Structure 1
Amino acid sequence: MAVNGTRFDNFDEETLTKLVNERDSANTQQVIKTAVNILKDYLREKSLGTISELEGETSEHVNGILRKFYAELKKVDGSRYTKKSMITIRYGLQKYFLKKRDEDIINADAFKKANEMFKSVLVNLKKAGLGDTKHKAPIDAKDMEKLYASEIFSTNTSEGLQNRTIFEYLYYFCNRGRGNLRDIQKNDFNINTDATGRRYVTVTSRQTKNHRGDDLRDNDKEGRMYDQPGNPNCPVATIEKYLSKLNPNNDNFWQRPKKTVDQSMDVWYDNCAVGKNTLNNFMSRLSKDAGLSVKYTNHCIRATCITTLDQKGVEARHIMGISGHKSENSIRSYSERLSENKKRQISDILSENVVPAKSPKLHNSVNGNELATCSSNLQLPDFLDDEFESIMADITAYELAATRTNVCNNIPMSTSGYIPGNFHLNNCNVTINITK
């Protein structure tokens, strides 16, 4: 029964606006705020008024401002933003002007000239070496073997059990490894049995970047983690043991491991959640501790899942069912990548065409002059997910300008014979040329 005889809520305009604003993720809101602050700085430096005044101008005027803004945009130190940073800034402004002016500065015809300039800027950035998109690489097969052979994945220790559980959760459910990872609860996991008798794990769908809950066509991710009977690396057995050892007084799924445990103990984890930063840097830490070939990130686990499925012939539309991608184009960036093994094969094939047939096998040493041979749509841009911190650091440099001193600005640059007297140099050769 309704309270006080009322059926419907009574929301004021402030509450309604808050509901709309909360639709955007925290990352999106930060991107919008940062992009707007950069535009404010530009308007102030160019004496073009305030952003509030710009909101009331004609589309033609705003188009002209944005056209020059895209062309003249630079960091505080005078260097250019990367392609990804430029796309991120424009995305933030797009969201902002949609709210303030109900205009799409990317797709509306009124902003065609501004967007033509934007595309030209990206072309020039590519020429300058700032336009390359570096996708997260999948984990190499040898590194995967090293992980599972290491004590880091031992299910006989609290930390090892948690390490393997985190990894296999990200791998089997194709999770991005950031965002809502910290929010997962124990009751989000369900263990069931299918018609063939195989046991499997499912995870309750939570709000993610691609699944905000505002798309009527949006279906939950359909991934399942099946058991592997007789396999010592059975992922279901791992997660069952992990669940059985969690602290019953804490609902968080990722709990802080106790330092010392034994098999007879019922609880291996403290009544305390693992920190967000610890989870976000999970794979980077594992890469170092396990001595892997490169420093991987959490997103590399997702890339490994998608790449493995693609290479095994799973159709893109089926991969989308667990990855959460909304288009096959998003999957293509993974399927077009070459594995480390394939890159080695290609290089060796090309080398066979260069090295004479009777020459010795490829080796690493070089003797004298011998030829050296080599041994073996209004969505937050996809790349922002795993690279959010680095990109935001790139586009928020201006915020630090007021609180830091650029040493170079304190060194007078002249040809009058001035030599700074406060340098301290050790074990190096210095040549100072003074032009009089």
Structure 2
Amino acid sequence: MRRLLGLLFSYCASRFEALKMASFNLGKPKDILQLEENITEVEDLEMNSEELNNILMTLFDIPNGISTSVSPEEARAEMAEAMNVPEIENFVRSENQHVPTPQQRFKEYSEEDLKALEESRQSKSTKNNTKWGMKLFQDWNMEVYGQEVPMATINEGDLCQKLRQFYAEATPKTRNSGSGPTEYHKNTLINVRAAINRHLHDLGRTEIDIVRSITFKSANNMLDAKLKHNVRSGLSRPTQHKSIISKQDFELINTYLNSGDNPVLLRYRVWVDLAIHFVSRGLEFHIQLTPNSFQFLNDENEHTYVSISHETTQKNKQGGLNSTEAPCSDKRMYATDSETCPVKALRKFLSKTPPNAPYVFNNCNKTAMVSPTTSPFWYTDKPLKQYQFGRFMGDISRNAKCTQHYTAHCLRATAIQAMSDAGFELRHIMFMSGHKNESSVRSYSRGCTTGQKHKLSTVLSAVVQPNSDPKSNTSCRDDELVMAAPLA
């Protein structure tokens, strides 16, 4: 009510000349404004018509000699004539539009939003792994006991007994041909145990730890015994690490990627360059990159390089409370003087990407595929799916006519092996790969290349064959056995 009167007075001041021609005996405010009797805000004004009339006359300096209306009806008629009621409404409306609304600082989350955010803590692959491990465990329970285990209510002692038996009896499905492994791989059983443990924590039973708790010691002893038994029985299979791309095959890949100037080859080339120089996983890293992800900078020696401007999540770096450095923290891809400069290729790739594209790696423009020289943009603004990245290295291997089929993860393994062969310290390799412990890095670094293994075998053959000449088979130089930095 007070604000309405204030706006009315402000408007009246703007109509000063019109108000000189009339004065208003407004009577009671609630009568003039036609308000209901139960609106207490008007009553709180404690102002009679004579007082309100005096305020208006003082405000607009209206001479006392001018006659005043004698009733609220006459006052409203005079007001309508002198001030034009539609203009008053427009004035009030325009004033309300200029009133600044307080900005909300904090986001508002519903309970559903909070739950969705909490569930995003785990990656999709982790959730699928948990689901698969629990299905395997419950399938075993259905076959042995005829019912699933109530994970939300089972006590620790009963769960320990079931896990002890499950670890001993768990076996993979038999193929239709009758072939295939008869025992799970060591890493598979360890992953199943971790999946069951995660599921318990997802249910809110965080006090249970089937991996480290002494309550589950007998179950873990059984798992340890099972794995050792498989080794002694010849049933344990070695871990199949990703292949290292040989120097010869990388030369074929390099030749293929630089065999033409078109959208497909440029996209392949930038994808390989980024995977090698940032030692990334090909299916996780690239899908997070946007046109604003790259910083083109110069170091103190005026050498140009590219770095990533934001954190990225990968398998061993998911962020969160326990996260340390970002996987791309100050990693650099330096420019070279060659025609195959990775920085030069990236600049061209970005220039061929539409400015409104939300991500860097997008589908190829059909027009550009037919006529790349006349098309300003080679790519659309529709990003690639993750499964499409999985096909990249297979297509490159086939088109380059490599000796074997390589996967995206082979690029990461090759980069780590190349740094190891070049003599970099383990801590420097861990900085580039993002590994947290040395044993994980050593699983990538094979220690010897194919040529070095051949040389070692030839030397040892000379031990059992003294009359042979090992020099004739070990003439390869060490520098030939070290893979050169690819695409640089």
What does the per-residue CA deviation read over 1:18-65, in whole Å, with 9 as the maximum and x for residues that have no partner? 43322111011001111112222222222264322x432321211111
Q: Which region of structure 1 is more displaced relative to structure 2, 103-112 or 184-193?
A: 184-193
CA distance in structure 2 between the partners assigned to 1:169 and 1:248 by the alignment: 20
Q: Cα–Cα, structure 1 residues 167 and 84, in superposed 2: closer, same or farther, change >3 Å?
A: same
What does the per-residue CA deviation read over 1:171-228, in whole Å, with 9 as the maximum and x for residues that have no partner? 0000111135333222212211112111111123222222211135521223110111
What does the per-residue CA deviation read over 1:87-131, in whole Å, with 9 as the maximum and x for residues that have no partner? 221121111122332111111111111111112222233344443
Partner of 2:352 in structure 1?
245
Partner of 1:224 in structure 2?
332
Contact 2:258–2:340 (CA under 8 A) maintained in structure 1:
no
CA distance in structure 2 between the partners assigned to 1:359 and 1:234 by the alignment: 44
Tell me the SS of whatever aligns to 1:330: helix
Q: Cα–Cα, structure 1 residues 335 and 358, in superposed 2: closer, same or farther, change >3 Å?
A: closer
CA distance in structure 1 between the partners assigned to 2:325 and 2:469 by the alignment: 59
Partner of 1:173 in structure 2?
278
Q: Cα–Cα, structure 1 residues 65 and 335, in superposed 2: closer, same or farther, change >3 Å?
A: same
CA distance in structure 2 between the partners assigned to 1:122 and 1:10 by the alignment: 47
CA distance in structure 2 between the partners assigned to 1:159 and 1:252 by the alignment: 17
Alignment of 1:151-300 (within 5 A): 152-154=257-259, 156-203=261-308, 204-220=310-326, 221-222=328-329, 223-228=331-336, 230-257=337-364, 258-263=368-373, 265-300=375-410
* Offset at residue 361 of structure 1 (A): 10
For 1:119, give the aligned amino acid. D
Contact 2:271–2:286 (CA under 8 A) maintained in structure 1:
no
CA distance in structure 1 between the partners assigned to 2:107 and 2:353 by the alignment: 41
Partner of 2:134 in structure 1?
36
Tell me the SS of whatever aligns to 1:191: strand
* Offset at residue 266 of structure 1 (A): 2.3
Partner of 2:427 in structure 1?
317
Tell me the SS of whatever aligns to 2:444: helix
* Offset at residue 338 of structure 1 (A): 2.2
Tell me the SS of whatever aligns to 1:46: helix
Q: Which region of structure 1 is more displaced relative to structure 2, 180-189 or 18-27?
A: 180-189
Contact 2:183–2:235 (CA under 8 A) maintained in structure 1:
no
Is the counterpart of residue 303 in structure 1 residue 407 in structure 2?
A: no
- Structure 2 residue aligned with 1:84, among 187, 194, 197? 187
Which structure is richer in relative contact order (CA contacts within 8 A, separation 6 or more)? 1
Alignment of 1:356-395 (within 5 A): 357=467
- Count residues in correspondence: 360
CA distance in structure 2 between the partners assigned to 1:307 and 1:321 by the alignment: 14
Contact 2:133–2:195 (CA under 8 A) maintained in structure 1:
yes
Alignment of 1:83-122 (within 5 A): 83-100=186-203, 101-102=205-206, 103-122=208-227
Partner of 1:340 in structure 2?
450
Partner of 2:38 in structure 1?
none
CA distance in structure 2 between the partners assigned to 1:196 and 1:63 by the alignment: 62
CA distance in structure 1 between the partners assigned to 2:348 and 2:265 by the alignment: 12
Q: Cα–Cα, structure 1 residues 314 and 254, in superposed 2: closer, same or farther, change >3 Å?
A: same
* Offset at residue 350 of structure 1 (A): 2.6
CA distance in structure 2 between the partners assigned to 1:162 and 1:42 by the alignment: 46
Q: Which region of structure 1 is more displaced relative to structure 2, 319-328 or 264-273?
A: 264-273
CA distance in structure 1 between the partners assigned to 2:412 and 2:279 by the alignment: 5
Q: Which region of structure 1 is more displaced relative to structure 2, 61-70 or 345-354?
A: 345-354
Q: Cα–Cα, structure 1 residues 123 and 281, in superposed 2: closer, same or farther, change >3 Å?
A: farther
Kindly report the root-mean-square deviation, in angstroms, between the aligned alpha carbons of the 2 structures.
Answer: 2.8
Q: Cα–Cα, structure 1 residues 168 and 192, in superposed 2: closer, same or farther, change >3 Å?
A: same
CA distance in structure 2 between the partners assigned to 1:299 and 1:57 by the alignment: 40
Contact 1:155–1:164 (CA under 8 A) maintained in structure 2:
no
Is the counterpart of residue 351 in structure 1 residue 423 in structure 2?
A: no
Contact 2:141–2:149 (CA under 8 A) maintained in structure 1:
yes
CA distance in structure 1 between the partners assigned to 2:448 and 2:321 by the alignment: 34
Contact 1:84–1:131 (CA under 8 A) maintained in structure 2:
no
Q: Cα–Cα, structure 1 residues 162 and 6, in superposed 2: closer, same or farther, change >3 Å?
A: closer
Q: Cα–Cα, structure 1 residues 313 and 359, in superposed 2: closer, same or farther, change >3 Å?
A: closer
For 1:187, give the aligned amino acid. N
For 1:239, give the aligned amino acid. L
Partner of 1:406 in structure 2?
none
- Structure 1 residue aligned with 2:440, among 311, 315, 330? 330
CA distance in structure 1 between the partners assigned to 2:299 and 2:283 by the alignment: 30
CA distance in structure 1 between the partners assigned to 2:426 and 2:360 by the alignment: 31
CA distance in structure 1 between the partners assigned to 2:340 and 2:450 by the alignment: 24
Structure-1-length-normalised TM-score: 0.75
CA distance in structure 1 between the partners assigned to 2:293 and 2:405 by the alignment: 30
For 1:175, give the aligned amino acid. S
Tell me the SS of whatever aligns to 1:304: helix
Q: Give ranges in structure 2 of 5+ residues lacking alignment.
A: 1-99, 176-181, 474-488
Contact 2:131–2:195 (CA under 8 A) maintained in structure 1:
yes
Contact 2:354–2:377 (CA under 8 A) maintained in structure 1:
yes
Q: Which runs of 4+ in 1 moved over 6 A?
A: 1-6, 358-363
Q: Cα–Cα, structure 1 residues 129 and 288, in superposed 2: closer, same or farther, change >3 Å?
A: farther
Give the greater-gyration-radius structure (CA).
Answer: 2
- Structure 2 residue aligned with 1:71, among 168, 178, 181? 168
CA distance in structure 2 between the partners assigned to 1:170 and 1:35 by the alignment: 31
CA distance in structure 2 between the partners assigned to 1:358 and 1:314 by the alignment: 36
Q: Give ranges in structure 1 of 5+ residues lacking alignment.
A: 364-436
Tell me the SS of whatever aligns to 2:429: helix
Contact 2:462–2:468 (CA under 8 A) maintained in structure 1:
no
Contact 2:354–2:381 (CA under 8 A) maintained in structure 1:
yes
Is the counterpart of residue 25 in structure 1 residue 123 in structure 2?
A: yes
Contact 1:82–1:125 (CA under 8 A) maintained in structure 2:
no
